[in-house]
């Protein structure tokens, strides 16, 4: 079967190769992958700014249909449509973080797509406990966004309190940012979305998803707009999804005294900040790394209840063979979420 691999360490070194089809173990589930979303992490792996363990099949945001189950599997069956919690592919299971559902902090953790083989392929094999059945009302395309939805849910719903009537600056209108925006719009917040001129397509999409104001920071004065929209006070909350130094600095500057900053974007390198801003404004700063077990349970409820419409965020569906074009779309920010499929 075809699979997209990070073949060795170094910038690039990503190839579409033929690999053996995996066998289903007694305690495992074999999944016919339907769609896999391209994540910012995949781009970081390509550019060698996120740790991976090559050779490894990339991809971790995915949905599919169970093709085979091991003889010891009892909770799912062949034909079930599923999403997969790929972050828990390898964990110790016994440390304080595993025991409390915060598996992202397990020192032994390796996730799908970088630590073990992932889903940019036709078939993948996972443990039964990693599989979540998706409601009949949810498409496989939308289900492929379960993992980025989980990232957004933790950031917006679980770290701190964001209330109706709050003014929120969201910087970075990529797919995670757009999902965060959708959650904020559900809350009834006033939302300012900031991006660069390269984000023009995504800023237009942000308007459709509920942004009250969009700002091109290259051609407009973000801080002046923030002060105007908040009567000189500053925003209540900033959500940084770009992972860029200037974006983080702008967020801290835009906050009111005693405001809240939520860091979602990964910079992938050291950035320079005037950290005294945190002190003098007495800001609360929250880092949001992916999700937890509780988050995934909440995500399945959100999907079942149709509380959020993920379909508009999906702008491209391409065959796995066109992965280079798909990655370039993401690099150039000319898209929302891009899905790859061996069936496309």
In a domain, residue 206? The reply is yes
Considering the domain architecture, whether residues 163 and 282 belong to the same structural domain is answered as yes
> How many Å separate Cα 131 from the centre of its chain?
18
Considering the domain architecture, whether residues 16 and 114 belong to the same structural domain is answered as yes
The confidence score (pLDDT) of residue 344 equals: 66
In a domain, residue 50? The reply is yes
Considering the domain architecture, whether residues 120 and 176 belong to the same structural domain is answered as no
List, in sequence order, every residue forming a beta bridge with 171; answer none if it has no partner: 194, 240
Considering the domain architecture, whether residues 159 and 129 belong to the same structural domain is answered as no
The confidence score (pLDDT) of residue 269 equals: 87
SS3 for 148-212 is HHHHHHHHHHHCCCCCCCCEEEEECCCHHHHHHHHHHHHHCCEEEEEECHHHHHHHHHHHHCCCC
Indicate the SS3 state at residue 239: strand
- Per residue of the chain (344 residues), give pLDDT as tens: 999 999 999 999 999 999 999 999 999 999 999 999 999 999 999 999 999 999 999 999 999 999 999 999 999 999 999 999 999 999 999 999 999 999 999 999 999 999 999 999 999 999 999 999 998 999 999 999 999 999 999 999 999 999 999 999 999 999 999 999 999 999 999 999 999 999 999 999 999 999 999 999 999 999 999 999 999 999 999 999 999 999 999 999 999 999 999 999 998 889 999 999 999 999 999 999 999 999 998 999 999 998 899 999 999 999 999 999 999 999 999 899 999 998 86
The confidence score (pLDDT) of residue 114 equals: 97
In a domain, residue 144? The reply is no
Domain interval for residue 88: 2-133+310-341
In a domain, residue 299? The reply is no
By C-alpha distance, which of 94, 33, 7 is closest to 339?
33
In a domain, residue 93? The reply is yes
The confidence score (pLDDT) of residue 315 equals: 96
- CATH number of the domain encompassing residue 183: 3.40.50.720
Structural domain tally of the chain? 2
- CATH number of the domain encompassing residue 107: 3.90.180.10
Considering the domain architecture, whether residues 48 and 165 belong to the same structural domain is answered as no
pTM of the complete model? 0.95
In a domain, residue 30? The reply is yes
Report whether 54 contacts 5 (CB < 8 A).
yes
Considering the domain architecture, whether residues 6 and 86 belong to the same structural domain is answered as yes
Considering the domain architecture, whether residues 271 and 320 belong to the same structural domain is answered as no
In a domain, residue 129? The reply is yes
Report whether 83 contacts 72 (CB < 8 A).
no
Considering the domain architecture, whether residues 225 and 320 belong to the same structural domain is answered as no
Considering the domain architecture, whether residues 171 and 277 belong to the same structural domain is answered as yes
The confidence score (pLDDT) of residue 343 equals: 80
As a whole number of angstroms, the distance between CA 154 and CA 343 comes to: 32
């Amino acid at each position: 079967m075809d699979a997209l691999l990070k073949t060795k360490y170094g910038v690039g070194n990503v190839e579409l190769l033929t690999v053996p089809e995996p066998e289903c173990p007694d305690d495992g589930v074999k999944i016919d992958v339907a769609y896999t979303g391209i994540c910012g992490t995949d781009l970081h792996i390509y550019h060698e700014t996120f740790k991976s363990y090559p050779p490894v099949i990339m991809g971790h945001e995915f949905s599919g249909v169970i093709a085979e189950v091991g003889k010891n599997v009892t909770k799912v069956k062949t034909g079930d449509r599923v999403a997969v919690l790929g972050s828990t592919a390898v964990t110790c299971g016994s440390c304080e973080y595993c025991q409390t559902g915060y598996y992202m902090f397990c020192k032994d953790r390796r996730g799908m797509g970088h630590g073990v083989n992932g889903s940019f392929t036709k078939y993948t094999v996972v443990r039964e406990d990693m599989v979540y059945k998706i409601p009949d009302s949810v498409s496989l395309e939308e289900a492929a966004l379960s993992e980025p939805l989980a990232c957004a849910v933790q950031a917006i719903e679980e770290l701190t309190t964001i209330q109706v009537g709050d003014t929120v600056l969201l910087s970075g209108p990529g797919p995670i940012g757009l999902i965060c925006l959708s959650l904020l719009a559900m809350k009834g917040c006033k939302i300012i979305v900031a991006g660069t001129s390269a984000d023009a397509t995504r800023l237009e999409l942000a308007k459709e998803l509920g942004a009250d104001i969009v700002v091109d920071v290259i051609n407009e004065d973000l801080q002046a707009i923030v002060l105007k929209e908040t009567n000189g006070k500053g925003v209540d909350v900033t959500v940084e999804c770009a992972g860029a130094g200037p974006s983080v600095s702008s967020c801290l500057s835009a906050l009111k005294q005693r405001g809240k900053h939520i860091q979602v974007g990964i910079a992938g390198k050291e950035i320079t900040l005037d950290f005294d801003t945190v002190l003098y404004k007495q800001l609360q700063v929250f880092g949001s790394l992916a999700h937890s077990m509780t988050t995934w349970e909440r995500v399945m409820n959100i999907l079942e209840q149709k509380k959020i419409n993920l379909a508009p965020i999906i702008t491209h569906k391409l065959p796995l063979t066109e992965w280079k074009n798909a990655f370039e779309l993401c690099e150039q920010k000319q898209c929302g979420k891009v899905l790859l499929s061996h069936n496309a």
